[in-house]
């Protein structure tokens, strides 16, 4: 009998193996890795087209070994619709932040969800506009200070945060809508399982799917990466509860 080393975890093959431009501790990298792992595990690398947003993930296409396009701000779901319609057998996902998806791109995401056509959306909710320096987003919590809500967000001055997952789950179009968190190993495992269902909803031709990922922005939150994870648990999750909000029959 001899001893051999068995691989417990190694880098996904569809990951382009570049060092990302993300700040230390930013959970974009975690969400990226889950996408790459699922593309590998589900054998999708040859038929995947990623549609990237304007925001911190604008260069996302650099980090994967599958085809990608870079959309205009907020328009990823429209662009993905054009791509999917021309090649329905391909796997098409958008990757969008909260400013991109829930502010400037709200019309496109709502109508993509309402059409219900099988595209998949990975939605990163980190409560601010990271790329532009930490301005208030549609998901910024009440009381949260940002560079454009310097005294903290108030309903009177800024209105209320938008719960995208719950809102879209009211539509008849979507096949699968969930909110997950990337704050801990256990939640990252759950996030991957939700993303797998979302991918499956498309692969099996069932319909539109979206996974909202509670994420961190240590740089603009002015917290350490570890403190940022704690903030997600203590402050963000109470307003943005985790869970599956829409699961139609056949999604697994």
Chain positions 17 to 56 lying near another protein, rule: CB under 8 A, are 19-20, 22-30, 32-33, 45-49, 51-52
Q: Footprint of another protein on residues 73-132 (CB under 8 A)?
A: 75, 78-87, 90-91, 107-108, 110-111
What are 28's two structure tokens? 């974009």
The answer to the question of residue 226 lying near another protein (CB under 8 A) is yes
Candidate list 38, 55, 64, 178; residue touching another protein; CB under 8 A: 64
Closer to another protein by Cβ: residue 24 or 155: 24
Closest to 195 in 3D by CA, of 244, 125, 149, 238: 244
CA distance between the termini of the chain: 41
Please name the helix (run of DSSP H) or strand (run of DSSP E) that holds residue 69, with its range, or none. strand 67-70
The answer to the question of residue 235 lying near another protein (CB under 8 A) is no
> For residues 219 and 23, is the Cβ–Cβ distance under 8 A?
yes
The answer to the question of residue 203 lying near another protein (CB under 8 A) is no
Q: Which residue has the tokens 């691989």?
A: 7
Instruction: Please report how close the Cβ of residue 131 comes to another protein at its closest, in angstroms.
Output: 12
Instruction: Please report how close the Cβ of residue 1 comes to another protein at its closest, in angstroms.
Output: 5
Buried b (16+ CB within 10 A) or exposed e, 177-196: bbbbbbbeeebbebbbebbb
CA distances from 87 to 152, 167, 222 (A): 46, 29, 44
The answer to the question of residue 150 lying near another protein (CB under 8 A) is no
What are 15's two structure tokens? 């990951």
Instruction: Please report how close the Cβ of residue 153 comes to another protein at its closest, in angstroms.
Output: 26
Instruction: Please report how close the Cβ of residue 30 comes to another protein at its closest, in angstroms.
Output: 5
Instruction: Please report how close the Cβ of residue 152 comes to another protein at its closest, in angstroms.
Output: 27
The answer to the question of residue 234 lying near another protein (CB under 8 A) is no
């Amino acid at each position: 009998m001899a001893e051999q080393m068995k691989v417990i975890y190694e880098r996904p093959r569809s990951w382009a193996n570049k060092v990302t431009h993300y700040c230390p501790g930013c959970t974009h990298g975690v969400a990226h890795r889950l996408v790459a792992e699922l593309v590998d595990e589900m054998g999708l690398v040859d038929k995947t087209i990623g549609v990237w947003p304007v925001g911190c993930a604008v260069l996302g296409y650099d980090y994967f070994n599958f085809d990608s396009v870079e959309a205009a701000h907020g328009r990823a779901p429209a662009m993905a619709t054009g791509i999917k319609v021309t090649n329905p057998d391909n796997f098409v996902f958008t990757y969008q932040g909260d400013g991109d998806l829930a502010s400037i791109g709200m019309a496109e995401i709502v109508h993509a969800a309402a059409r219900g056509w099988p595209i998949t959306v990975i939605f990163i909710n980190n409560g601010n506009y990271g790329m532009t320096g930490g301005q208030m987003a549609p998901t910024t919590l009440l009381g949260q200070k940002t560079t454009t809500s310097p005294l903290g967000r108030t309903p009177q001055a800024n209105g209320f945060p938008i719960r995208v997952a719950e809102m879209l789950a009211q539509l008849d179009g979507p096949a699968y809508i969930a909110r997950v968190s990337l704050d801990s190993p256990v939640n990252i495992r759950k996030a991957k399982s939700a993303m797998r269902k979302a991918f499956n909803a498309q692969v099996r031709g069932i319909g539109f799917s979206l996974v909202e990922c509670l994420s961190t922005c240590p740089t603009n939150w002015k917290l350490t990466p570890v403190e940022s994870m704690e903030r997600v648990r203590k402050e963000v999750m109470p307003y943005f509860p985790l869970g599956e909000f829409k699961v139609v029959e056949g999604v697994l």
